[in-house]
Structure 1
Amino acid sequence: MPEEILSGFDKVVLGGLRPLASLLASSGKRARLSVLIYHRVLAAPDALLPGEPDAVQFRWQMELLARYFNPLPLSEAVRRLREETLPPRAVSVTFDDGYADNVEVALPILQQVKVPATFFIATGYLDGGWMWNDKVIETLRHMPNGDFDLTDMGLDIYPLVSTVDRLAAIEQILVRLKYLPSEEREEQVQALTQRCQKSLSHSLMMTSIQVRQLHQAGMEIGAHTHTHPILASLGRASAEQEMATSKARLEDLLGESVRLFAYPNGKPGKDYLQEHADIAQNLNFEAAVSTAWGVASAQSDIWQLPRFTPWDRTPSRFMLRLLWNYRSAGTPFAYSEAE
């Protein structure tokens, strides 16, 4: 890791973490697996996407993983979890949704530091699609300063002057729309985007070629449904179709079996139910991941593996968070903030 990235405090703390990391060196039956969630890696910081790392931040995060941990492809980590042969401080990196910057920005860094990753793709947005939440963000980004009146949509009046205003409006609108029935939500989002004169680009999400590029680079590809619905809001047949369609389209694209699945949004009991874990098993997925906070142990349900998002912005805090996370195995109802 370039020394100029580390503050004096970071250097002291990271030096002191070496013995702590050694204490967490359990392997085999007692080992635990930490699975990290990412969505995007930005080429440069974006004030309206404060939770997404940029390339500089992502690089030092991956360099820390390579130096202090044992990064494994998720499929290998799950297999070794079941066999009780995990190495100490095992970690797997995952990405959800299928953003193009995963290929353009994250992939070169992963290759350079030799950290494997698994990319869960919502197939309905490949080749020019947009997820509804991104449409909201980009609409609010490009609206002119002033009051944004959405009372005719059953929403509020949102002052848009500062970045703080826009962030607050985005958060409030996303919360209001998130759990609406999908058709109603899409109608609301369409009505919202029509108020913005700027058209959306066609390069936010991956192309089919980029999915193949990831696969050819040795990265794993997993399914993430077709249109990223809240599975718990669907009937069983519709939920199974969403999961199966994503799997089939990726298998057709890659020419091989897709073995891993990530639940959209991922909060157990709220975004997906036990029946969806059963569907994942019936569809011959070998494992599935949620957004329940924690680490996986040999006793974990491999169709509901916990994950968490490393929010911390300094190397020392990032390391402390990762090491602290190994202290307790995640439970299905310990929710994270990740989506």
Structure 2
Amino acid sequence: ESLKMNAAFFICTDYIGSKRLYWQNALQALRRTNPNLSRLSYDEMRNQLFNIKPQEAFRKIHEIITTMNLTLPEGTEMMTEEDLTNLHRKGFEIYSHTKSHPCLAALGKDEVIEEIEASMKVIERILGSKVTRILAYPFGREETLPPNIDETMQDLNFEAGLIVKPSFYDLRKDGRYHIPRLAVDRDDSISRFRMKKIIPLSLK
């Protein structure tokens, strides 16, 4: 708002108003705060957790914490329903990032539909109106998407799906459901954020 920029917020509805971490953020936090967790151990754990459901991933992380006597820092508070309502009232767009941020490739089609549709229902309830059906896929990489994602998105009447890819958009190549987006990290400076807007191909 202070930069007078348009913006869209993609929301995982299970985390609204909570201090819960996504499992991958929890794993990163463990890595940062526990020096005895070797890089090899971190990579092994991430690979084991990647293709399972978030609830199961969290259960395994807590098993690791208990077994290795680690500590997990508390997460920062996610946006509340009131925050989302205020953003929407100011003209910012609110879209879906699924319900629980799973790797969609690890789910069956019915589970993928539930993740997407349940999040849409929560967002529309909070805002009190229909919202444009645009989805930013969790993780965002092509290999994290099921092979039938285009068909599923079309069946659900979604207008667009966004992947993480340092590239300019090509309608003929990318279609509606593989539109490139750039990851914006909490550690990005304003200058790096501006660079990402201007020259995405240099940031692979």
Q: CA deviation at 1:172?
A: 2.5
Partner letter of residue 46 of structure 2? Answer: V
Gaps of 5+ in 1: 1-110, 149-157, 159-167, 327-335
316 and 138 in structure 1: CA distance in 2 versus 1, 3 angstrom threshold: closer
Q: How does 1:174-323 map to 2 (within 5 A)?
A: 175-182=46-53, 183-194=55-66, 195-197=69-71, 200-201=74-75, 203-259=76-132, 260-268=134-142, 270-299=143-172, 300-309=174-183, 315=191, 319=195, 322-323=198-199
Partner letter of residue 132 of structure 1? Answer: W
Determine the C-alpha separation between the residues in 1 that align with 2:41 and 2:16.
Answer: 24
Q: How does 1:118-133 map to 2 (within 5 A)?
A: 118-128=8-18, 129-133=20-24
Contact 2:98–2:138 (CA under 8 A) maintained in structure 1: yes
Determine the C-alpha separation between the residues in 1 that align with 2:193 and 2:8.
Answer: 24
TM-score normalised by structure 2 residue count? 0.79
Q: How does 1:125-164 map to 2 (within 5 A)?
A: 125-128=15-18, 129-143=20-34, 147-148=36-37, 158=38
Q: CA deviation at 1:248?
A: 1.0
Determine the C-alpha separation between the residues in 2 that align with 1:322 and 1:178.
Answer: 35
Determine the C-alpha separation between the residues in 1 that align with 2:88 and 2:139.
Answer: 24
1:136-167 Cα offsets, whole Å, 9 max, x none, are: 23334444x5x34xxxxxxxxx2xxxxxxxxx
Q: CA deviation at 1:313?
A: 6.1
Bigger Cα Rg = 1
Contact 1:122–1:226 (CA under 8 A) maintained in structure 2: yes
Q: Please, what is the CA RMSD of the aligned residues?
A: 3.2
TM-score normalised by structure 1 residue count? 0.50
Determine the C-alpha separation between the residues in 1 that align with 2:21 and 2:122.
Answer: 18
316 and 196 in structure 1: CA distance in 2 versus 1, 3 angstrom threshold: closer
Partner letter of residue 160 of structure 2? Answer: A
Determine the C-alpha separation between the residues in 1 that align with 2:27 and 2:193.
Answer: 31
Determine the C-alpha separation between the residues in 2 that align with 1:261 and 1:116.
Answer: 17
Determine the C-alpha separation between the residues in 1 that align with 2:124 and 2:167.
Answer: 30
Determine the C-alpha separation between the residues in 1 that align with 2:42 and 2:80.
Answer: 28
Determine the C-alpha separation between the residues in 2 that align with 1:253 and 1:226.
Answer: 14
Q: How many residues align?
A: 196
Partner letter of residue 59 of structure 2? Answer: E
Q: CA deviation at 1:298?
A: 4.1
1:112 matched to which residue of 2? 2
When structure 1 is superposed on structure 2, of 124-133 and 272-281 the one drifting more is 272-281
Determine the C-alpha separation between the residues in 2 that align with 1:298 and 1:322.
Answer: 19
Partner letter of residue 261 of structure 1? Answer: L
Partner letter of residue 198 of structure 2? Answer: L
1:236-270 Cα offsets, whole Å, 9 max, x none, are: 111111111111111111112222111111212x1
Determine the C-alpha separation between the residues in 2 that align with 1:127 and 1:216.
Answer: 18
Determine the C-alpha separation between the residues in 2 that align with 1:319 and 1:273.
Answer: 31
Determine the C-alpha separation between the residues in 2 that align with 1:170 and 1:243.
Answer: 32
Q: CA deviation at 1:224?
A: 0.9
240 and 176 in structure 1: CA distance in 2 versus 1, 3 angstrom threshold: same
Partner letter of residue 191 of structure 1? Answer: E
Contact 1:122–1:246 (CA under 8 A) maintained in structure 2: yes
Q: How does 1:17-166 map to 2 (within 5 A)?
A: 111-128=1-18, 129-143=20-34, 147-148=36-37, 158=38
1:298-337 Cα offsets, whole Å, 9 max, x none, are: 43411221122478868499649834649xxxxxxxxx97
SS at match of 2:9: strand
Determine the C-alpha separation between the residues in 2 that align with 1:112 and 1:317.
Answer: 15
Contact 2:162–2:177 (CA under 8 A) maintained in structure 1: yes
